[in-house]
Structures are given as C-alpha cells and as structure tokens.
Amino acid sequence: KVTTDELTGISNRRSFEGYMTRRMSTLRGSGMLFLFMIDVDHFKQINDRWGHSTGDEALKQTAELLKSAVSRNDFIGRVGGDEFVVILQNRDLNECEELFQNFDQGCADAVVEADEDNNIALSIAKGFAKYDPAADKQFVDVFNRADEEMYKNKRKMKAEALQK
C-alpha cells in the first residue's frame, strides 16, 4: 500500500487514517492530541490562472513549511487536493498556537513564482480540534470538527478581506 503523497513527499490520506486510528486506540484516557486542518486559499484560482505546475509548487511549499514548523514526532499529511493535516501529540494548546504562529510567519513570507513577472503570496486557512476520547469514537469525529473550524476561519478571512 502506498502511504506517501507523490507530489509533496509527506504522508497521504491512507496513512493519515491508519495513524489516527492507531493513535486514538492508544490515547484512550491519557495524552493529548490536536488535529489541524490546513487549506491553501484560492487554490482553484491558482490552477486556473497560472496552471497546474504553479498549483503543484504551492502544495510543495505548503508541505515544506509544515515540515519546518513541526517536529519529527508530529504527523503531517496531505488528505485532499489542497488540504493538509497535522497531528500534534502531548503538547498543550499554547505550544500548538506557538508552532502555528511560526507556520503563519513562514506562510506570510512565502511566495510561489507564477511566471517571470508574477509571484503569488501563499495564503493558508486552518482550523483545529482537540481529540476527546469520551466523544470521538472514530477519527472522522475529530477530523470533521477541525474541518468545520477551518472553514469557519476561511469565511472569516474572506469577510475581513471584503471589509478592507
């Protein structure tokens, strides 16, 4: 079974699902686990306007930024076209927030070269959920909460951009 995303070199959805299932079975009652969902903003427009090679570059850069932000003990995976997951274990919320502030700074400084004359700023939306052993019976329970939070943050970012 293939467990690595060929484009980015990080884990794929199959690997993520297996990892989450294993982690949830070993964390019952102890330990902390946070699941972050990350989405590349305006990904469809990047592909449509600049081409799939530019979109691929945005995905690769996102994966590299995630790898540089987290430790080797953390899990990073690409679970969809432009959606990534990060699983942080045995960290408190402050540590998670600090890690993602560093990731946000890396994203703020990142640009994707679209062509000789144009660079695209890399924009990311994210959301997270803490694994709750009492409520989360399957990995999709915590996954869906993190996904909902990500889309809520995405809508908030769009609303703020419209007000500017």
Query: Which residues does 75 contact at the CB level (< 8 Å), separation at least 6?
Result: 11, 16, 19, 85, 86, 87
Q: How far is CA 30 from CA 71, 133, 142, in A?
A: 21, 9, 16
Q: Does residue 82 carry a catalytic annotation?
A: yes
| H-only helix segments in 28-138 | 43-50, 52-69, 93-109
φ, ψ at 55 (rounded to 5°): -60, -40
Tokens of 17: 């699902």
Active-site position among 41, 82, 136, 147: 82
Give the residue numbers annotated as catalytic, written as ranges: 82
